[in-house]
Structures are given as structure tokens and as C-alpha cells.
Structure 1
Amino acid sequence: MAKARIPKSARFTSKSVRVPQGLPDRETLLKFIREAGETDKADMAKAFGLKGNDRRALRDMLKALEAEGALGKRGRKGFSEAGALPPVGVVDVVERDPDGDLLVKLTKGEDAPVVRLAPDRREATGGAPGLGDRLLVRFETLENGETEARMIKRLGQSAHRILGVIRRANRQVRVEPVDRRSKESLSLLPADAVDLHDGDLVLAQVTLEARYGPKRGKVLEVVGREDQPRAASLIAIYSHGIPTGFSQAAEAEAEAAEPPTLKGREDLREVPLVTIDPPDARDHDDAVYAEPDTDPKNEGGWIVWVAIADVAAYVRPGSALDREARDKGNSTYFPDRVEPMLPERLSAGLCSLRQGENRACLAVRMVFDRNGRKRSHKFVRGLMRSAAKLSYEQAQRAIDGFPDDHTNPLLEPILKPLWAAYETMMKGRRARSPLAIQSQERKIVLNAEGEVTSITPRASLEAHRLIEEMMVQANVCAAETLEQKKSPLIYRIHDAPTQEKVQSLAEFLQTLGIAWNKGEAPRTERFNGLLDQTREGPHAEIVNEVVLRTQMQAVYATENIGHFGLNLDRYAHFTSPIRRYADLIVHRALIRALGLGEDGLTDRDIAQMKDTSERITYAERRSMAAERDATDRYVAAFLADRVGAEFAGRITGVTRFGLFIRLDETGADGLVPASSLGGEFFIHDDKAHALVGERTGRRWPLGLRVQVELKEATPITGGLLFDILSDPLPADPNAPRPRLGMRARGGGFSGPKRGGGAGRAAAPKRGKRR
């Protein structure tokens, strides 16, 4: 990759630079352009005081410098030093290199170099980027002289390379983008569209920039059909650049893998470990077992075993499997499919802890006292044989007194001890007081053809919480052991909320009449107290939502700051190496630190650990965005034939352009534009999280329960548009009233503001909106 030079300063006008008057010589002109970063002929002429013939001479100089390669064009009129990059610029994601890194290029500047996009270390800013996306980035020069780009904001899908749908109308063929944020379509020549059909999903790119009308493009690949039931996942995969499939080399390595033996392993086959997973799970990477501790010094204590698939035995450092797993970062889960991190031969085969089959594992034996405090732990590399494969529902029904033929023999020797150990461990969890935010997940149910048949809430069972707590404790053990051995590791860290977020929470709670001391440091106990205080009241759901939004996002890092949400000093992911690369690195670190084999962490792994942590954080964001987008599209497809129906919901987002509504029935999110709210101008009060009528003061606040009518459902983009049927709340007598006419001056309330904005409201079209 070409090295790129960054100008000493950002673009600035001629007033910023003192230059001698008169036609400059070659070096003076180049120096001016270099210092300006980017400029045009008019700015240069003004800076040098050029008129008439001197302007024409300047134009000739610029043409000559461009012809010899000293200058590069920036847009239609701009110039920059050849190969120069601004400190901040707009780029398109143009390709992916062999290591899986995204490469970006300035949207204007043919001579500008292709630059690596660094993984995002911060919170996701508008979703994980993929091929064809347009980004605002900051260019940074590294110590080795190379330049990398760091994303500031995702601006949407680039018109230069888009995923879209073929639309034929009036002898024209266009590619309409599937990204809701992209408004530009591409026009295709008839000769290039002979084999294309209306509704084809295609990957296309710009071939000719048009000054007016749509840009000309060509189709690179037909990836499917928009009317395919499973198109939602396909669109998400292509839109977000999710790596798919495996190379022949990786598949060959997986096929060559052999069943494990006892060599170098402790025999754990007599320990009746069981797997407890969702009923449709194909990979089983964790198994558990518990028994009372017979040590008289630990009366009432428990021994808990957590055994994890030994993926490190099959995915060796530097192998094709390893390179591709690192590129993927994690498995990505859609309602209709999984894009796995490892080939099926491993993920659903030799690395899956199948019932009754010998499997390699890395296990931890943990000892807890009667109060749920961990007394000790020990890791072993073993050979296990799962005693049973259970679903969460099966295990829960058995404990609740309704065992089936499969669980009845397991109830006394395995399941009841597991639950008794869990009850003891919960004493320690309650003393630790991790965040108790409740998250209502929805399950999309598909038929054999891939069509959505229902969207239902996911059950929250005690069996889920049992497995979660045992996995948390095993992860803590991994972090503690590696710290004790002074081994490098990738932590899972979660920072405390920022002061700005806490202040925003306090201001919102004030609108509900709930006091919150903004100056007190955020602690999980405080948040849990707030959630308990409001749990039985009318604001429980929205307070839970706002507390969730107040939290930072967890990331992977080599430097430890603890895990705020779990209220733990040290934490590392160890329990899911089939689907997370972070866990595989932790396994290798344990193997090396504890002398459990020759296939542990390598010096190369250690050298690139910081980069790995950034990569897998980015990959996690990418998968989350793709999964969310696919879900939105499936939900929109499910609701498409219910346009005109009425739904109950709640306002979950307030912006200057409208209200976001979440439906009770499906958990679907959609927009009510501000222009449909009523016959007055609405102003965004960001302090009260509400849209407020300029004339009447009537309010649409965050959390308000409303009735809406579905006006539009667009499966191809996942967009839902609602018409609100409920009345707003009356004006708050204690709130400052917006001043009439503030919209003309771009203002909001007369009191202190940190932004805001407004939405134009049209007269109501229907009698239902009173």
C-alpha cells in the first residue's frame, strides 16, 4: 500500500496564508497548495492578487503541474498536492485486503492512496461499516510512516458501490439502494441490463458521474432476489461486509482434524457434565456439573465444573483456520441462518460437546463457600463425554416438577445439585450487585420456506440465569489465572457511564419526578435501586430503557479497567471459543501459562494482541449491526400485509424530525414523522426528551404510551412508518414555553439549550387525531 503524506494543516482560505502578490513561480505555488491542503483556482487567484492574463497563466500552470503528476484533482474544481490526504475527509470503503482489513479511498481524488481503515475502538458510531459504505474519517500517520483512517461517523452507503434492487419502468433500468440512508440510485444502460429482472438484488458501482439526474452504473454481481424469504439476511451480509464461507485451505484443515485422545489430557469422562442450550442449537461449547463439597472446612459449599470445547487443539496459530477465524471475529446469527466463525466440521462436529461422544475440553473446577464466594479454582485440559443434551426449557420444566423421559433420570443426580449450587452462587452475585437491566428479546419464527410466521418474546428462565452465572464465574477464573501468571490477555472491559450520560439520565428522571444526584459517582447499586424503585410503576419500561442507553458498550482490550456492568475487577471471555475469537486467544494463553501443551499462545499472538482486540471489537459491532438490520427487514416483511392496522406502543426515541415508536406486539421500531403530529410547529426539547408544540405547549415525551396506525412497511429497507392516533400530553405548567417564531431563527426554548431543532407539523389529515 502506498504511503500517504498528510498536510500540516487542514484546508483554509487564502486569508490564512500570507503570500507575495503577483504570478507565483512553480515552487511558491506548490508550497501554497501544500499548506492549504485543498484549494481551487479562485482561491489561488485571490491569494496572489491575480487578474486578467495572470489568471490565464495560473490556469496553464495548474494544468502543467497536474500533467506532470505534482497535483491531484479534488472534485470538479479543487486541487491538492498529489497523494496528499486531509486531516479529516469523506471516504468510500472500496475493498478488503487479504488480511480482512477494509480499505478506504477519498471520494474525490483519483490520485489519493488507498488507506487501511483501523478497527473502531470506541462505541459504534452509526453501525459497523462494510464494503460500499461512505464514512467520515480522520487520517493518522503511524510510527512506521504508514497512514491509517479512523472512522468518525458512518455517512451511509456510497453511491460508488451499492447494494440495490433492480427497478424497471418506462424503458429505464435503475438500481435502487437498500440502505435507508442512501438516496441516490444508479441508471443502467439497456445493453448492460439485458439479463436483469425487476427485483434482482445486485451489487453495483458507478461508472459515470452525472452532473444532473442519476449516476450511470454497472452491475458487478447478482446476489439474489428481493422477494426471496431469506433475502433479509443476504442483504445484511452484503451490506455490512460479513465474511462468508471458508477457503479451500481452511476447509481442508478442518476435514483433516481427528477425534481427540487421552494423550496429554485428564480423563473427565466419568464426570456427568451436561449441555444446556437453546432447542435449535447446533454447536455446544459449554457443559456444567455441580456436587456438594465434602471438605469439612467448607460445609455447605459446592464444587462447580464448567467444561469448554478445546478449540485451540484444532485451530492452530498461523493456520488458514486461524486467519479466517480472526477475520470473522465471531459467528453472526440471523433468524434463518448462521455465518459461523469455524467450518461445520469443527463448529457442529469435533468442537461441539455432543452427548455420548468423546470431546477435547478445557475445564475449570471451582469451589464456592456457603455464601457464594469462590474459594479456589483449577484449570485442567481434559477428555470429556457429555452425559446429556438438554434445552433450557427441558431443564426448567424438570426442576419445576414436570420432567420428561429424558430428564427424569437426571433430576436427582444432576439437575437438582446444579440448581442448589446456583442458589448458593446467587448469594455472591447479589452481594456483588451487577446491573439488573431487563432486556426483552424477540424471537422471529420462520417456516420451512423462510417466511416469518410469528414474532414472540423470548422466555427468560431461571435455567438461562444459571448457565449465565456459571459462565461468568468461569470467565473470571480465566482472567484471574492469567493475571496471576503475568500472561498477556484480552480482557472484556466495560467502562462506567460518562458524566454527560449520567447528567442526561438525571434530567430525564426529573421530568418523571424522580430525584437523581448527578454529582455522585455511577455505581451499579444506584442503578439497581432506581430500577427497583420504578419496577412496579407506569414508568418501569422506559426507565429500564433509558438506564440501558446510559451504559457504555463493552469492548475487548489488552488494558484492564474492569467490567462496570458485571461489577467485576477483571473479566475475560473464555466460554465460547467456537463462536468468538477472543475466547480462543484466552484458551491459548491458559495453555501456555499453565504448561498444558505446545499449542498455546505464540509470540506472534502476543505481538498482535492489541490489534486483535481492536479487530474483534470491530467485528462484534459489524455482526450486531448486520443482525439488527436483518431483524428489521424480517419484521417489516411480517407487517407488510398489515398496513392500516392499529397497534399499541411506546415512544422510545425523540428527535427533531419525529418520534420512534416500539410496538408492544412485536417489539418492532418505526417512525412517526414530526410533519404528521398536528397543526402546529413542534420543537425538540432535548432536556425533557420531548417534542413540544410551539403554540400550545402540548408534549410528546419519551416513554408515552400511544396508539399508532401502520402507514408503510418496506421489507427491502426494514423501514416502518406510523401515523399516531393518540393525543399528546397537555403543556407542562412548570416547563419554559417555547417562543413563537423561534423556528425562523433556528432556535428552541428560551432557557439554556444544548442543541435541539424542530419539525414542521402539517394540519391533521384524519379525524382520529384530535
Structure 2
Amino acid sequence: MAERPDDPGARGPEDVSPAPAAMPSREALRRFLREAPARVGKSEISRHFGLTADQRPALRALLKELEHEGALQRAGGRRVRESGKLPEMAVVEVSGTDPDGDPLARPVGWEGPGRPPLVYMRPERPGQPALAYGERVLARLRPIGPGKYEGRTFKRLGSGGPARILGVLQGDRLLPTSKREKADWTVPAGEDGGAEEGELVLAEPLPGRALGLRPARVVERLGRMDAPRAVSVLCIHAHRIPDHFPAEAVREAETARPVALQGREDLREIPLVTIDGEDARDFDDAVWAEPLGEGWRVLVAIADVAHYVRPGSALDQEAGRRGNSVYFPDRVVPMLPEALSNGLCSLRPGENRGCLFVEMRFDGQGHKAGHRFGRGLMRSAARLTYEQLQTAQEAAPVAAQGDAQGDAQGDAQGAVQGDAEMGKAGGLVPPQQVAHLFAAFRCLLAARERRGTLDLDLPERRVLMDEQGEVRDVVPRLKLEAHRLIEEFMVAANVCAAEELEHRRQPLLFRVHDRPSDEKLEALRQFLDSMELDLPAAGELRPRDFARVLEHVQGRPEERLVHEAVLRAQSQAAYSPENIGHFGLALPRYAHFTSPIRRYADLVVHRALIRGLGLGKADALQEDEAERLPDTAEHITRTERRAAAAEREAVERYLARHMASRVGGMFDARISGVTRFGLFVTVASNGASGLVPLASLPDDQWTHEEAAHRLSGRFTRLCFVLGQAVEVRLAEVVPLTGGMLFHLLQGNPPVAGGRRARLRHLAGASTSRGPRGTPR
């Protein structure tokens, strides 16, 4: 799609200089961004340096180079700013207090690398009323150190939404559940909203007092903190995830009707099957494959959510606000009401469903020979789980041999029958079809391996709950070949969607993943040097270079550690109307097409395909939607990261509950983080992570070597390094915050200061040391 000018029609021919100015140097451009009072676009840069329209491509290339180097970052739409820098004036939100009771704030909408800077708010004038928790202000900022600013209030803006405290009521005190909140609150008489001792509540600050605990009023009771399923309730509210649908959106969903065949291609005779986890409730993709000459024909059919969720409707507005579904161990907060997400949009076996499909043709080497999109009516032949498909594959001799043509032999006696639901639907999947799916997958996998992608093997955890909602166990989530089969088919379909929309010059949301920044690469290189591993120069770096590093450590004790370090070095994937490619998948163009029930980005791509292919009008992408794509991309990237943080926190809190009964137990672990205030360790058996505080280590003068990820004792000569195997004792679990405290098993002295000091250590340190992901 042709780039839209930043300021169309703002300049006429008389404004064009006859002699264009020279392109600015990299340092001159960085200096301009550093001194700019706010984020700027290409128009402001061009005016400042006197550039002409003909020099725009060179300017874009220069900006992209600086972005790849981490010197600048996108700041909404087509604007940029210096990486990691806050402007002289910015909107900040009060997020806590320092030990002296002065407010601490974070910049609103932070998009830089790492954690957002900390702003120490100071009163603009004596006697100025104190800032309340959650209050937003326009502040004058002055750097006072790395990642630190002093802020003075210029203008109060009110709350960023209602200021809220999530906590547990204990007498007249409110104990915050967040590790970031260092101080308790007091609940005055009559302001408890009827809440009882031990209840999880939402509260709002009351006008502050100069001394003592700050007062708060309970505005919502959320149930007892020790109740089953309380953890997911806490995470939903802590991350402000919308969990109630507006009445009009529910009405639209419940009055929807099944699609008709008219205007659609009839796919009901093709035995498409859905393949999902055993606990999945919504099925939005189905697959099928057959031999085609020396290659394969693969069909991927996706639920036609766009038929039901029309642009501008109440359903659309709420889906856009949520951005995606959020999955907890005990519940799902869906993007769409249940009547659609588990009903008319879900590809249930034996039921007619509308779909958008892509038919792909591959040669014997896994190269795509062609594709076509269409709108169809399908009927799923079976609902399979990954485990069922894997079992079927292992039981089918031809599938196990990976016969390129899948010439499977077998009769109805060898058919694979699924679970009870699948049996009710009359779903039988012959061994031949299973063989075709796996043979087509291996063909695509071979092409992927030749392309060279970033494949990180990091264990995921699965929380098993009993019928009462209590944690039964936390176990590693198995990664089967069946998982990879579906992933490979979905990646291929997503590539086709991006190619189709680019070919038809339609606006779309790309799924982009930038290459690692120079800063992160340098830190990774220093870490790998200690293991005698190396990486090529930044300009020559490819995903296969990371793959070679991972191959070198395969089977070695430090394998998992290196996988985590490589993942930490990666950029986060995001949505954008501007394409920079997908580094991790080594793909020049990529879009999300396969999960419109749970991701708004996919719904936007479906609408763009409907528009580009002329498959509808009312449910196609509208012009006003296309104009809002930069803002939409920014918003759904935030909601995706919000969901990931909430899901990760829920698993950690449930794991802490599970470990609470094992205080005093001994565990094999590895050091997963090294800081100046102690070590983070991760238990090998279940992934439980917690802090070994510095004060619990042998009495010594400890030196933190950040680049080497090492903590060294001057007198004991003890040395603790990232990835080192250790044995630990679980010393304490704090259910309120989900934190865990460990001691190393080597005669550790007690933490100085007793229980309160230990709690302060625990509250001040995040137990989540997991690296940021690069979701596809």
C-alpha cells in the first residue's frame, strides 16, 4: 500500500527548494530527536533539515536503520522519538510511594525497551495537595540518573480511569496484592462497603492525610482471597481486563443466526478436522490435506467471525476494546460473548459453519506453488485433541514412515475415533487422512528448516485443577509433533493472507517481529563468550545464527539457560500497518489470519480479505477502519501484552499456592537471575521461581558483575553464576503477593531483621524473571 503523506496538500510547488539540502548525518538526526520536545514525524524532520519529497525514501531508510540499532523507537502512528528517552513534559500516573511517602510515577503508554523509567514526583509549590494513587498529571521531567527522573506537577489531569487499589481487608487495613505497592492503606469506619476480614476488594483513595496510612474506600467486593479460583479474579482486576459484556453486545450475539450456503463455496464433503488442546472450548481452525502430484494440497478453514461481528456494531466495539481473549487455568475471558465464541463461530463437529478458507498447493520440497482464498460453508468431521492425533500418527505405520505420498493402507477397523463429543458427531478419521496431514507437515517443516528460523524450546507449565478449583498439580506442558503440525499449517496460512492483501494493495495489520537491538545483542554476546559461543556481527545476523548456537548446547546442562538468554535478547512481536518482516520466523511478510474468535487482529485481516476479494460489503473493512489501523495496531499490541502478563501472573500465583504446603522442602533448582540484591532461582520440577535474598547468603562482601551475570564473594571466594545448578530450601511463601523466598543449602544464616525484613525483600523483588516472548 502506498504510504499516506503526513500532511497531504500542505506544501505546493512554490515551497520546493531548487537545491535540496544534504541528508542529515545519523548523529545530527539523533541530536534533533533528543532535543525535540515531543515525538516527531517525517514531516517535522524534513522541514527541520530542508529535505524534499524526493529525499523521503532515503529518510525512511535512515530512520529504519536507527530503529534497528535501538537508537529510536516508534511512538504511535508514524511518529518516532529517541529510544528510552522521556520528553521534558509528559503524562505520568502515580503508581506508589517511596519509603518517605513521596509519590512515585510511571510514564503513561511507555513503549521503550525494558521497564518504564521511575519518576520521583516533587511538589510544584509548598502546600500543594498530595497526589493520589492512580492520579495522572502532566509533569515537567528532569533526568536524575539511569531510568530515573524528577517530576514536578504542571497540570493535574485526574485519574487514568478510576484510581483503584486491589487488596485484602485485614481489620481496618487494606493490604495491597501488588509487589509494587509498598505501603498499606487504612479503611475508615463506614467505608468498608460491608466487606469482611480476608476478602479481596477493590478500593479507591480518599482525600489524603499528611501523616500515617492513606485512607481508602471499598467500592467492590470480589470474594475471599483464600477461595478457589480467587487467583484469576485477582489477575483480571489487577490488569484491568474487561470481563463483563455490554447488554447490547450480548443481545447481538444471542440473536445471531447460522449462515446460509448462498454466496459460499460448499466444503461440507471435505473431512476437515479441528485439532486443539483437550481443555479448548472454542475451535476456530480446521485442516485437511491430500497428495497433489509430487506435492500436497492443504486446506485451512477459519471461522467466519466477520459475518457476525460487523464494523461499528456493539460486538465490534467491545471486541476491539478487549483486543483478545485471556486464558487462565480455571477460566477464559473471551473476546466475544459465549453465544458466538462457543456457539455459532466455533467449528463444532457435525454442524454447518461459515468459514473463510485458504487452499494452498506445495511442491515436494515444501515450496508454495500457489494459493486461493474463498468464503465457504463447512462441517467439521471431528474434534481431535493433540494427544489423539499424536496417538493416531504413532499407530499408523505409513504416517510413521513419513511416506511422501501418504499411501496409507488400512480399513474402517483401523479408523481413529475421538472422544465422546467426536463420537456423537459421528466423526471417524481414517489412518490415511492422519498420514496425509503428517506427510504434508513434514514437507513444510523441511522447507522451514532450510529457511532457518528461531525455534526456542522453553518448557511451558500447565496448572491442573480439581473439580473444586484447587490446584492439583503443576506439570510441564508437552510439546508434541501434533502441535508443530498445526503451527506449521497456521504459519503457512498467515503468510498467504499477508501476500494476498499486499498483492491486492489492501490495508492490513502485519504481525511484525524486529531483529534484536544492538544493546541486547551486546549483552547476549558477553554472556555467550563465557561459554565460548559466538554470534556474527549485527548487520549479518540471521535467525539461523541463533539456531546454530542452540545446536551447540543441545544436551548440555546449560541448554535451557542459553535458550532463555537468546529469548531475552529478542524484540517483542507486535502489530503494525507498516511491514518490517518477521525476524523470528525468517519471513518477509506475515499477518494473523487463523484465530478471529480470540484475536481482533485476525478479524481485521478477515475484513480486509473480504474487501479485497469482493466477498461482501457490510462485513468488509471500512475506510474509517483503514484510517485507524495505526491506532488499532498500537491498542491491540498493548492488550496482547496485558493478557500475557495476566496469564503469566496467574500461573505464578497458582504455583505459589501449590508450593505453600511445601515450605521447608528441598528442591533442585537453577539460578535464573543474578541481581545486586540476591539471586533468583527456578525449581527444576515445576518452574516455581523465587528470591534468594543477599542477606541470606554467607556473610561476605558481595560484588555484582552485571555483564557476566555473576555474584562473587570477596572473602569466601564463593561465586554464583546464571544457570548454575543449586539445591534450595523453600523458606517462605507470601500468598498475598504470590512471592516465594528460598535459601541456598549451605548453612545460610537467617535474614537480618526478622520476618518484616524478609517480607520487604520479597515485596520489593519480582519473582517473574521469565524473558519476554516472541509470540507468532
State the TM-score bracket (shorter-chain normalisation).
0.7 to 0.9
What do the CA deviations read for 1:218-258 (whole angstroms, capped 9, x no partner)? 11111221011211111111111001121110001001110
CA distance in 2, matches of 1:437, 1:627: 20
2:257 corresponds to: 258
Q: Is the 8 A contact 2:415 2:429 kept in 1?
A: no
- Report the TM-score, using the length of structure 2 for normalisation: 0.74
1:713 corresponds to: 733
CA distance in 2, matches of 1:477, 1:192: 58
State the one-letter code of the partner of 1:536: G
CA distance in 1, matches of 2:543, 2:319: 35
Selected match of 2:89 from 65, 87, 90: 87
Q: Is the 8 A contact 1:286 1:306 kept in 2?
A: yes
Selected match of 2:319 from 322, 325, 350: 325
Structure 2 SS opposite 1:400: helix
State the one-letter code of the partner of 1:635: L
- Is 1:163 equivalent to 2:166 in the alignment? yes
Q: Is the 8 A contact 2:534 2:549 kept in 1?
A: no
CA distance in 1, matches of 2:245, 2:415: 40
1:400 corresponds to: 394
Deviates most, 657-666 or 192-201: 192-201
2:563 corresponds to: 544
1:198 corresponds to: 197
1:16 corresponds to: none
Selected match of 1:125 from 96, 105, 115: 115
CA distance in 1, matches of 2:497, 2:301: 12
Q: Deviation at 1:536? A: 1.6
How has the CA–CA distance of structure 1 residues 534 and 137 changed in structure 2, closer, same or farther, with 3 Å as cutoff? farther
2:587 corresponds to: 568
- Is 1:622 equivalent to 2:642 in the alignment? yes
Q: Is the 8 A contact 1:121 1:614 kept in 2?
A: no
1:177 corresponds to: 176
Q: Is the 8 A contact 1:637 1:715 kept in 2?
A: yes
Q: Is the 8 A contact 1:683 1:692 kept in 2?
A: yes
Q: Deviation at 1:134? A: 7.5
Q: Deviation at 1:698? A: 2.5
1:739 corresponds to: none
Q: Is the 8 A contact 2:352 2:378 kept in 1?
A: yes
State the one-letter code of the partner of 1:199: G
How has the CA–CA distance of structure 1 residues 394 and 132 changed in structure 2, closer, same or farther, with 3 Å as cutoff? farther
What do the CA deviations read for 1:408-451 (whole angstroms, capped 9, x no partner)? 95233421111111111112111111112102101000011110
Q: Is the 8 A contact 2:536 2:545 kept in 1?
A: no
CA distance in 1, matches of 2:112, 2:608: 25
CA distance in 1, matches of 2:502, 2:432: 35
CA distance in 2, matches of 1:215, 1:230: 30
Structure 2 SS opposite 1:662: strand
Q: Equivalent residues in 2 for 1:108-257 (5 A)?
A: 118=109, 121=111, 125=115, 161-168=164-171, 173-193=172-192, 195-257=194-256
2:494 corresponds to: 475
What do the CA deviations read for 1:192-231 (whole angstroms, capped 9, x no partner)? 3483321111111221323322112211111221011211
Gaps of 5+ in 2: 1-86, 97-101, 118-131, 142-159, 397-413, 419-426, 749-763, 765-776
Q: Is the 8 A contact 2:392 2:416 kept in 1?
A: no
- Is 1:290 equivalent to 2:264 in the alignment? no
How has the CA–CA distance of structure 1 residues 649 and 158 changed in structure 2, closer, same or farther, with 3 Å as cutoff? farther
How has the CA–CA distance of structure 1 residues 461 and 136 changed in structure 2, closer, same or farther, with 3 Å as cutoff? farther
Deviates most, 247-256 or 408-417: 408-417
How has the CA–CA distance of structure 1 residues 664 and 134 changed in structure 2, closer, same or farther, with 3 Å as cutoff? farther
CA distance in 2, matches of 1:195, 1:705: 50
2:660 corresponds to: 640
Selected match of 1:352 from 336, 343, 346: 346
1:683 corresponds to: 703
What do the CA deviations read for 1:495-529 (whole angstroms, capped 9, x no partner)? 00111111111111122233444556321111000
- Is 1:270 equivalent to 2:269 in the alignment? yes
Name the count of aligned residue pairs.
600
Structure 2 SS opposite 1:353: coil
CA distance in 1, matches of 2:271, 2:739: 49
Q: Equivalent residues in 2 for 1:473-622 (5 A)?
A: 473-518=492-537, 521-598=540-617, 599-622=619-642
- Is 1:450 equivalent to 2:469 in the alignment? yes
Q: Is the 8 A contact 2:577 2:629 kept in 1?
A: yes
Gaps of 5+ in 1: 1-84, 95-105, 110-114, 141-156, 294-298, 729-758, 760-770
Structure 2 SS opposite 1:642: coil
Q: Deviation at 1:404? A: 7.4
1:148 corresponds to: none
Q: Deviation at 1:273? A: 0.4
1:314 corresponds to: 308
How has the CA–CA distance of structure 1 residues 475 and 159 changed in structure 2, closer, same or farther, with 3 Å as cutoff? closer
Q: Percent identity?
A: 47
How has the CA–CA distance of structure 1 residues 661 and 264 changed in structure 2, closer, same or farther, with 3 Å as cutoff? same
Q: Deviation at 1:683? A: 1.6
- Is 1:386 equivalent to 2:389 in the alignment? no
State the one-letter code of the partner of 2:357: A
Q: Deviation at 1:697? A: 4.1
Q: Is the 8 A contact 1:683 1:693 kept in 2?
A: yes
CA distance in 1, matches of 2:493, 2:570: 24
Structure 1 SS opposite 2:436: helix
Q: Is the 8 A contact 1:159 1:184 kept in 2?
A: no
1:655 corresponds to: 675
Q: Deviation at 1:138? A: 8.0
State the one-letter code of the partner of 2:620: G
CA distance in 1, matches of 2:705, 2:190: 53
CA distance in 2, matches of 1:605, 1:660: 45
1:341 corresponds to: 335
CA distance in 2, matches of 1:387, 1:428: 29
CA distance in 1, matches of 2:135, 2:665: 36
Structure 1 SS opposite 2:168: strand
State the one-letter code of the partner of 2:165: I
- Is 1:369 equivalent to 2:363 in the alignment? yes
How has the CA–CA distance of structure 1 residues 232 and 124 changed in structure 2, closer, same or farther, with 3 Å as cutoff? farther
Q: Deviation at 1:108? A: 10
Q: Is the 8 A contact 1:124 1:621 kept in 2?
A: no
CA distance in 2, matches of 1:679, 1:138: 43
Q: Is the 8 A contact 1:444 1:456 kept in 2?
A: yes
How has the CA–CA distance of structure 1 residues 345 and 519 changed in structure 2, closer, same or farther, with 3 Å as cutoff? closer
Q: Deviation at 1:304? A: 0.2
Q: Is the 8 A contact 2:381 2:428 kept in 1?
A: no
Q: Is the 8 A contact 2:415 2:430 kept in 1?
A: no
Q: Is the 8 A contact 2:92 2:108 kept in 1?
A: no
How has the CA–CA distance of structure 1 residues 573 and 699 changed in structure 2, closer, same or farther, with 3 Å as cutoff? same
Q: Deviation at 1:338? A: 0.3
Structure 1 SS opposite 2:249: helix
Q: Is the 8 A contact 1:452 1:638 kept in 2?
A: yes
Q: Is the 8 A contact 2:679 2:694 kept in 1?
A: yes
How has the CA–CA distance of structure 1 residues 133 and 231 changed in structure 2, closer, same or farther, with 3 Å as cutoff? farther
What do the CA deviations read for 1:529-576 (whole angstroms, capped 9, x no partner)? 000011121211111110111111100001000000000000000000
1:79 corresponds to: none
Structure 2 SS opposite 1:364: strand
CA distance in 2, matches of 1:629, 1:138: 31
CA distance in 2, matches of 1:478, 1:108: 45
CA distance in 1, matches of 2:384, 2:500: 30
What do the CA deviations read for 1:688-738 (whole angstroms, capped 9, x no partner)? 11111133443111000111111111222111110111599xxxxxxxxxx
CA distance in 2, matches of 1:303, 1:135: 56
CA distance in 2, matches of 1:404, 1:680: 67
Deviates most, 248-257 or 514-523: 514-523
